[in-house]
Amino acid sequence: MVNLGDVPVKRSHAAAFSFTNRGEQAIKLRRLETSCGCLTQQFEQEIIAPGEDGRFRLWIQTASQSAGDKQYTCKAIYGPVDDPSVEYKADLVFRITLPEQSVVVTPKAMIFHQPNSQVTERTVDVTDLRSQRLRILEATTKSKLLQVNILEPSTLTKTERDEGVVGRLNVAVGAVPPGTHNAVILIKTDDEEFDQLAVPVRIYGPEATTDAGFDHTDDDTGKSQDVPNFEN
């Protein structure tokens, strides 16, 4: 277990898990199964030789979380490199106490069920509760299954603006292949502390069920290159 306790206001915090291969054969860290899509994974290496140390991190982005005590769980799935049929699991816990956030993303994650080709659209709001508010510069995704656009400021009511909503995104999903697909929406801002916000997205295609596992079809989550600019 990693318990960070009370943490300051920052856009992200990371729990680092270290381990040693005390066996006589090389092992491979095959995947991490987390309890929340709001956790971003970062591997330093996948194959660990006998006697070597390995490490990975779980990142939590604070703008997608409410304040208070949080506990997340993760299963590390690993096994011998030369025998993919053998798997072992290690249960891990990440605890953290988050302060009241100054920048909030709503919703913190998105789920789409796409049994047909009908387009489904939803919105994401970014709220800044500070007196000097950030500006959204762009919103992107590497997934070919999503379309993300920043809506005109006129879509926000005066009440929403007064409450700190600084921008709204439109997210659209059309026809998708069968199975479960995962993506991340990256929101770039002009703020030095909250320069990049992320919204994880899970899409269930035809014949998919909500208990299906990640298949990483879009290669948009789970690797270190997908968490640019996170603090070391």
Report angle CA 225, 229, 230 to the nearest 5 degrees: 90
pTM for the model: 0.61
> Which of 115, 135, 117, 118 shows the shortest CA–CA distance to 126?
135
Q: Is residue 157 part of a domain?
A: yes
Are 52 and 108 contained in the same domain? no
> Which of 198, 181, 180 shows the shortest CA–CA distance to 189?
198
Q: Of 66, 98, 130, which marks where a domain is finished?
A: 98
pLDDT tens string for the chain (232 positions)? 999 999 887 778 899 999 999 999 999 999 899 888 778 888 777 899 999 999 899 988 787 777 889 999 999 999 999 898 999 999 999 999 988 778 889 998 899 999 999 999 999 999 998 888 999 999 999 999 999 999 999 999 999 999 899 999 999 999 999 999 999 999 999 998 889 998 999 999 997 444 434 333 444 443 333 443 333 3
Are 21 and 93 contained in the same domain? yes
Are 146 and 38 contained in the same domain? no
Are 94 and 133 contained in the same domain? no
> Which of 174, 178, 171 shows the shortest CA–CA distance to 200?
171
User: What's the CATH number where 13 sits?
Assistant: 2.60.40.10
Q: How many domains does the chain have?
A: 2
Please, how many CA atoms are within 13 Å of residue 83, restricted to the half-sphere of its CB?
A: 8
Task: Print the domain residue range for 61.
Answer: 2-98
Q: Of 52, 70, 98, which marks where a domain is finished?
A: 98
